[in-house]
């Protein structure tokens, strides 16, 4: 070996030692990489209750922020097709705005998601009167629904996921509902890029229960544009038409040959302003779709794709219906996170649930919960890109 050869030999030897070291470090790092959950202060409610903000991060870098005020998802960061993370839900960056002006951004909705006509229903021969907060109707649990209460929170962590378990005891006759309702909602962010929401409840008197989540999504990113380009597929051949007050008539109507047909992926904006009575009543889409699957069984509810960013969200649920609301009441008066102005139809909601006004519609799947029974539903949002 001459000097030059010896020099090359030494350089190669050191390079291979260096590379082997790097590999080991990166393997160790991967083996150690676990999802995480951290807690920070999110301020005090007007009546002095402390509220926290939990940040859940999975091993792929997806981030979900949830506050125990209303169980609200305040941020949800997912990658676009180039790996760039964006926050894809509307919301506020402070508790005060949530308390004062939120149109149910990201919250847990309860005790009853969506409307109950005139705030009245009869159960076992007794008529109950609920708080009325939407014209003459009851909406999303009343004046102080589950979106406006402080939940007990507990972090959950495993190698595959991180979660936040929220608990709330809704007292007998709260907002007019009978029975003490013990509710647990668990948000779980998995390493498979899924946000799961599991709802459980039990009661000590016959009551009604219909829980959901009210995330306002835009797969292009929050506050950047309207939802028109997002392509939506809803796994439903029927929907529940409504009257002018957005109360279902009781009919299950075929979506065929109507702007309600989302059986094939269709841009939300493609038919939203069509001359259609149902769209006029809703000011756009604000209806419940009857999912093509058995209630209680996990199955596909909807899939959304944004061609610009490549983001895909697929929703599976055990619920029999999904309320697709196209953000028609957003009008540019709300200023949200990062100073973004939330204009008309800047987001959409897909609220998996039982049908609106079920307590007054004997032919709809029942929302009655009795002592001894456990209310149990699950919805999974799977994020990917294409």
List residues binding ligand BGC (CB under 6 A): 103-104, 114, 246, 286, 323, 325, 329, 349, 351
CB nearer to ligand BGC: give 175 or 351: 351
Give min distance, CB of 347 to ligand BGC, in A. Answer: 11
Give min distance, CB of 168 to ligand BGC, in A. Answer: 20
Distance between CA atoms of residues 157 and 309, nearest Å: 31
Distance between CA atoms of residues 379 and 153, nearest Å: 20
Residue 175: both structure tokens together: 């907002």
Give min distance, CB of 102 to ligand BGC, in A. Answer: 9
Give min distance, CB of 141 to ligand BGC, in A. Answer: 11
Distance between CA atoms of residues 116 and 131, nearest Å: 10
CB nearer to ligand BGC: give 55 or 323: 323
- What are residue 170's DSSP bridge partners? 181
| Residues across the chain | 386
Give min distance, CB of 294 to ligand BGC, in A. Answer: 24
CB nearer to ligand BGC: give 90 or 189: 90
For 88-147, the DSSP string reads: -B---SSHHHHHHH-SSTTPEE-SBSSEEGGGEEEETTEEEE----BTTBEETTSTT-GG
| In contact, 35 and 59? CB cutoff 8 Å | yes
CB nearer to ligand BGC: give 323 or 358: 323
Give min distance, CB of 41 to ligand BGC, in A. Answer: 28
Nearest to 53 by CA among 64, 71, 41: 41
Distance between CA atoms of residues 161 and 358, nearest Å: 35
The single residue of 174, 351, 354, 381 carrying the catalytic annotation is: 351
Distance between CA atoms of residues 74 and 67, nearest Å: 7
What residues contact residue 125 under an 8 Å CB cut-off, 6+ apart?
none
CB nearer to ligand BGC: give 139 or 183: 139
Please indicate whether residue 24 is annotated as part of the active site.
no
For 34-103, the DSSP string reads: --EEEEEEEEE-TTS-EEEEEEEE-TT--EEEEETBTTEEEEEEEE-TTS-EEE-B---SSHHHHHHH-S
The single residue of 214, 287, 316, 354 carrying the catalytic annotation is: 214
Give min distance, CB of 282 to ligand BGC, in A. Answer: 7
Give min distance, CB of 124 to ligand BGC, in A. Answer: 28
Please indicate whether residue 214 is annotated as part of the active site.
yes
Q: Point out the residue whose Cβ comes nearest to ligand BGC.
A: 325
Residue 48: both structure tokens together: 């002095």
For residue 380, the 8-state DSSP code is E
| In contact, 247 and 137? CB cutoff 8 Å | yes
Q: Which residue has the tokens 């509810």?
A: 301
CB nearer to ligand BGC: give 130 or 153: 130
CB nearer to ligand BGC: give 193 or 286: 286
Beta strands at 286-291 and 299-305: parallel, antiparallel or unpaired = unpaired
CB nearer to ligand BGC: give 146 or 325: 325
Indicate which residues carry an active-site annotation.
Answer: 214, 351
């Amino acid at each position: 070996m001459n000097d030059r050869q010896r020099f090359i030999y030494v350089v190669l030897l050191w390079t291979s030692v260096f590379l082997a070291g790097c590999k080991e470090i990166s393997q160790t790092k991967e083996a150690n990489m676990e999802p995480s959950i951290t807690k920070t202060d999110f301020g005090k409610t007007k009546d002095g209750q402390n509220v926290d903000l939990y940040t859940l991060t999975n091993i792929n870098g997806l981030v979900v922020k949830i506050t125990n005020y209303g169980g609200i998802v305040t941020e949800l960061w997912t990658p676009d097709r180039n790996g760039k993370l964006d926050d894809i839900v509307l919301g506020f960056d402070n508790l005060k705005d949530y308390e004062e002006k939120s149109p149910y951004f990201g919250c847990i909705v309860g005790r009853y998601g969506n409307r109950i006509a005139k705030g009245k229903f009869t159960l076992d021969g007794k008529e109950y009167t609920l708080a009325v907060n939407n014209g003459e109707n009851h909406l999303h649990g009343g004046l102080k629904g589950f979106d406006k209460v402080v939940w007990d929170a507990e972090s959950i962590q495993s190698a595959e996921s991180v979660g936040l378990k929220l608990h709330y005891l809704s007292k007998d006759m709260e907002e007019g509902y009978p029975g003490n309702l013990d509710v647990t909602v668990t948000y779980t962010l998995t390493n498979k890029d899924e946000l799961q929401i599991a709802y459980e409840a039990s009661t000590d008197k016959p009551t009604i229960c219909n829980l959901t989540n009210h995330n306002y999504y835009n797969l292009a990113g929050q506050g950047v544009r309207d939802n028109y380009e997002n392509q939506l597929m809803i796994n439903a051949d029927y929907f529940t038409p409504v009257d002018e007050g957005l109360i279902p008539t009781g009919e299950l109507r075929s979506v065929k040959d109507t702007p309600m047909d989302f059986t094939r992926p269709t841009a939300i904006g493609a038919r939203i302003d069509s001359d259609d009575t149902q769209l006029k009543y809703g000011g756009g889409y604000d209806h419940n779709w009857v999912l093509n699957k058995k209630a209680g069984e996990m199955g596909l509810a909807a899939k959304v794709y944004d061609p610009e960013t490549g983001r895909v969200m697929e929703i599976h649920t055990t619920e029999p219906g999904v309320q697709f609301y196209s953000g028609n009441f957003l009008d540019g008066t709300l200023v949200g996170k990062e100073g973004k102005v939330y204009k008309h139809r800047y987001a959409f909601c897909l609220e998996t649930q039982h049908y609106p006004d079920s307590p007054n519609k004997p032919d709809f799947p029942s929302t009655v919960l009795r002592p001894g029974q456990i209310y149990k539903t699950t919805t999974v949002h799977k994020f990917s890109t294409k």
